[in-house]
Every structure is written in structure tokens, then in C-alpha cells.
């Protein structure tokens, strides 16, 4: 499992009694996941236990820095050891093109409420045909019920809103190149103001993490303290950054558009100038 994995991946492994070995990322500022780290982790597991891991997992992208690791290469490395791989695509399926066959992964999980604008909680699961019979095995007593899904999956509003989102989801994934261009442009604007974008460079996702030493310095001096940024942005009808965050924060530019991003970047500039 990648060292940037979401806590829910850890809890899911713990739920079924699996031992977890993390593939570490590099340190600040890149937080890069080296594909060869998966080979190392598998070799270590074989050495320690005498057998290969039951499953490998990659978060694509991770939920903190928005890094898109080389999933295709990682899948290839895992398959050299006959280890199947699951791609956690909570922040990619529904936002960007993702082709499990092209990437060579065995399982792909997506989030309807994170990236498809549907009611939650709901998600989608794609399974390589080699594993479909195992994952979707039916109950011997209730013939139309899948055991691993506890016999009852999503229904009502969660299901209908996800189905309803599909046409727009398909349309917006075709605009992904523009979304990436907007994210890179916005990152450059904030870095011109003294903020520092962590993670991949050039960045390949709308989710980004920033360090803001100048905003943090302001927060130590002003009356509103660490809530000053949230209040200044709220006054300009800009929402998304959690209240109280100034030194570090993450944000997403997805669907905002260049005109609105320009307004947001200008607002950051105004706020910094106001207090410096």
C-alpha cells in the first residue's frame, strides 16, 4: 500500500485481518511514490513471510497532494510477482479518463459522492474477469445475492443520483486537459505570491496542497489570528479552504474555470497586500 493511502484503505485491510506494508513516498516537497518501491515491499514480504502479498493497493491520486503515481508501471511490477493490484480512484474516476485495462490493474474503485456529484455514500467497483467469480460469488441459499456485497447494494437516491450524473460525468472527463491546464496556471499564480505547491511538478491533477509561510506569518500578528484568511475569502464569496488553516491547506480547482480562478488568485493577492 502506498504511504499516501487514505485511512479508509488501512481500515478496510484491518477489517479483514490483513497485515499492511507501506511503500514510502519521498519527503517534502515532492512526496513521490517510486514504482520500484512496490517491488521492494513485495520482496520484503516474501522474505519475512515466505509468500507474496495477497493484494497491492495504489491511491490514484492521493487525497493530500493530488499526485498521480505511475500506475501502469506499478501494476506491471506487481504482476511480475503474481500480486493483483487495486487502484483507489476516489479522486479520479468521474473527473478524468481512467482506463483500468490500459493501466493493467485488476481492481478499480471509484467514489460516486466524491467525484460524480451523487448522494453518498456510494461507489463503483471494476473487477478483472479473472477475479469476478470470487468477488461477486453468490450465496448458496439466496441465489441472487452476492456474499461480499452482503446481498444488498446501493438503492434509492444514492443510486439514482449517480446514474443521473453519468452523462455529465462523461462530458467533463473529456475536458480533463483543460482542467489540468487551469490547475497548473492557478498554482503558478499562487506561487508568484509566495505560496509553495507541494507534490508533482508539473502538476497533473486539480487537487493541490500548498504551504503558505507568508499567510501564516500574517496570522500570528492579526487580531483574527489563524481565521483571518477564511474570513477574508468568505467576504469575497470564496469557499473551500477550511476555517483556521493558513500555514498549510489543500484545495481543488475542478470545474472552477479560468475566469473564477483569476478572481481567486487576485483575491489572495489583495489579502496579502492588505496585511503586509
Interval 150-198: pLDDT, tens: 878 888 899 999 999 999 999 999 999 999 999 999 999 999 999 999 9
- Please write the tens of the pLDDT for every residue from 53-77: 999 999 999 999 999 999 999 999 9
Mean pLDDT of 125-133: 94
Residue 215 lies in a domain: yes
pLDDT at 152: 80
Entry pTM: 0.93
What percentage of the chain exceeds 90 in pLDDT? 91
The CATH number given to whatever domain includes residue 196 is 3.90.1150.10
Contact 197, 251 (CB under 8 A): no
pLDDT at 119: 87
Q: Output DSSP code: residue 269.
A: H
Q: Give the cell for residue 216.
A: 501564516
Owner of C-alpha cell 453519468 = 166
Residues spanned by the domain of 220? 176-275
pLDDT at 3: 97
- Are 26 and 125 within one domain? yes
- Are 217 and 136 within one domain? no
Whether 120 has a pLDDT exceeding 90, the answer reads no
Residue 1 lies in a domain: no
- Are 46 and 59 within one domain? yes
- Are 149 and 20 within one domain? yes
- Are 163 and 268 within one domain? no
- Please write the tens of the pLDDT for every residue from 210-244: 999 999 999 999 999 999 999 999 999 999 999 99
What rounded mean pLDDT belongs to the chain? 95
Count of the separate structural domains present in the chain:
2
- Are 85 and 212 within one domain? no
Amino acid at each position: 500500500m502506498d504511504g499516501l493511502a487514505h485511512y479508509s484503505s488501512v481500515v478496510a485491510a484491518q477489517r479483514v485481518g490483513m497485515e499492511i506494508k507501506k511503500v514510502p513516498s519521498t519527503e517534502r516537497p515532492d512526496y513521490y511514490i517510486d514504482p520500484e518501491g512496490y517491488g521492494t515491499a513485495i520482496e520484503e514480504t516474501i522474505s519475512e513471510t515466505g509468500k507474496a502479498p495477497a493484494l497491492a493497493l495504489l491511491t490514484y491520486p492521493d487525497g493530500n497532494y493530488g499526485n498521480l503515481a505511475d500506475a501502469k508501471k506499478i501494476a506491471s511490477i506487481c504482476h511480475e510477482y503474481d500480486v493483483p493490484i487495486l487502484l483507489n480512484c476516489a479522486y479520479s474516476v468521474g473527473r478524468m479518463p481512467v482506463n483500468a485495462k490500459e493501466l493493467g490493474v485488476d481492481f478499480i474503485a471509484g467514489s460516486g459522492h466524491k467525484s460524480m456529484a451523487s448522494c453518498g455514500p456510494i461507489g463503483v467497483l471494476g473487477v478483472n474477469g479473472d477475479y469476478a467469480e470470487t468477488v461477486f460469488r453468490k450465496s448458496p441459499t439466496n441465489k441472487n445475492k452476492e456474499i461480499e456485497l452482503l446481498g444488498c447494494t446501493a438503492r434509492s437516491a444514492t443510486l439514482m443520483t449517480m446514474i443521473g450524473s453519468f452523462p455529465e460525468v462523461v462530458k467533463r472527463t473529456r475536458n480533463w486537459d483543460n482542467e489540468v491546464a487551469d490547475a497548473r496556471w492557478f498554482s503558478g499564480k499562487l506561487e508568484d505570491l509566495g505560496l509553495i505547491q507541494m507534490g508533482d511538478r508539473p502538476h497533473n491533477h486539480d487537487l493541490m496542497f500548498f504551504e503558505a509561510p507568508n499567510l501564516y506569518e500574517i496570522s500570528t500578528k492579526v487580531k483574527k489570528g489563524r481565521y483571518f484568511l477564511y474570513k477574508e475569502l468568505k467576504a469575497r464569496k470564496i469557499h473551500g479552504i477550511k476555517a483556521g488553516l493558513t500555514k498549510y491547506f489543500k484545495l481543488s480547482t475542478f470545474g472552477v474555470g479560468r475566469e473564477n480562478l483569476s478572481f481567486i488568485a487576485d483575491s489572495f493577492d489583495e489579502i496579502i497586500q492588505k496585511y503586509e
